[in-house]
Amino acid sequence: MSQQSQGDALDWAVPIMRAGYAGRGLTYLAIAGISLWAIWSGGSAQGTQSALSRLQGTPGGGIVLGLIAIGLIAYCVWRVLDAIFDLEAYGTDGKAIVARIGMVVTGLIHAALGIAAFTILYGTGTGGSGISGLTRKALDLPMGQFLVGAGAVATIGAGLYYLKKAVTGDYQDNLQANHFTVNWNWVLKAGVAAQGVIVTIVGGFFLVAALTYDASEAGGMDKVFNWLSSQPFGQTIVVVICLGLLAFALFCFVNAAYRIVPRASSEDVETLAKRVKSKVSD
C-alpha cells in the first residue's frame, strides 16, 4: 500500500483528534478565564473542577460544559488510537514505547475530567477532584508509596518535557505552517511553557505525598494556584500563569485546526518548524 493510500485509510482519526484538542482548549479557556475573573473580583484562581462547576451556573455554561465533556472524551479516544496505531509515527524503539504509553495515560486523565464534567452537567456530582482520596487509596496499596512516587516522577518528567518543547520549539514539528501559526508562534510557545510549569509543580506535590506518606500533600491545579499565591508576589505569578493558560488554550485550538498527523497527512504539508528554520536562515 502506498504512503498516500495508507494516509487515506487513517483519515478517520483526524476528526476525533480535532474534537479532542478543541475540548481541551475549551477546558483551559474556562479555567483561565474564570480564574482571571475571580482574581479581578477579589477572589482566587480556580482549579479545574471548581472552574467547571462555576461554568455550570453561567448563561450558556451548560452547553459549553457539554462540549468540554465530549471533547475531553474524544481527546482520550484520540490518544489511545494514536498510541495503538502509531498515528504520529513515533516508532517502536524504547523511547517511542514510553511516549505511546504516556499518550494512553494522558488520555485516561482527560477522560476522567470529561466524566467529571458530565457529572457536573447532569447534577450527579459536585465535581470535586478527590485527588487526595485517590492518592490515599494508592498509598494504601502494596508498594503504594513506590507507585505514587513513580507516578510523581512521570508527571514531573511530563512537565519538564513541556518546558523542553517550549524552549526547543519541538511542538512546531506537528503544526502546519501558515500566516496564523507563524505570527502567533510566540503565544504558542508561552502556552506550552505555562503548561509545563503547572504539570511539573503537580508532580512535585505527588512526590512529596509519596515521600511523606501524606495524601493531603497531593493536589491538582487548585493546589498549584494556592501554593503559588503563598509565594512572594504570588498573586502576580498566578495572573501570569493564568495568562499562560489562555495561551495554552490557543495552542490547543491551533492543534485542533492545524495539527499534522504524519500517517494521515499529505507529505507535502509544510511544518511550522520548517518555516521557522527557513526564516532564521534568511
What is the pTM for the complete model shown? Answer: 0.88
Q: Taking each helix axis as running N to C, give the angle between helix 13-40 and helix 61-85, from 0 to 180 degrees, rounded to the nearest 10.
A: 140
Q: What is the pLDDT of residues 106-165, one digit of tens each?
A: 888 888 888 888 888 877 554 444 677 778 888 888 888 898 898 888 888 888 988 999
Q: What is the pLDDT of residues 1-22, one digit of tens each?
A: 444 444 456 788 899 999 999 9
**Which residues of the chain carry a pLDDT beneath 50?**
1-7, 126-129
Is the Cβ–Cβ distance between 60 and 9 less than 8 Å? no
The per-residue pLDDT for 138 is 85
Is the Cβ–Cβ distance between 135 and 206 less than 8 Å? yes
Give the integer Cα–Cα distance in Å for 71 and 117. Answer: 10
Give the integer Cα–Cα distance in Å for 195 and 160. Answer: 10
Name the residue type at position 52. Answer: L
The per-residue pLDDT for 267 is 62
Query: Which residues are within 8 A (CB) of 130 and not within 5 positions of it... i.e. 6 or more apart?
Result: none
Backbone angles phi, psi at 41, to 5 degrees: -85, 5
Q: How many CB atoms lie within 10 A of CB 177?
A: 21
The per-residue pLDDT for 127 is 45
Backbone angles phi, psi at 39, to 5 degrees: -65, -45
3-state secondary structure of 220: coil
Give the integer Cα–Cα distance in Å for 92 and 74. Answer: 25
The per-residue pLDDT for 124 is 59
- Among 127, 149, 158, smallest CA distance to 205 is for 149
- Among 277, 273, 248, smallest CA distance to 262 is for 273
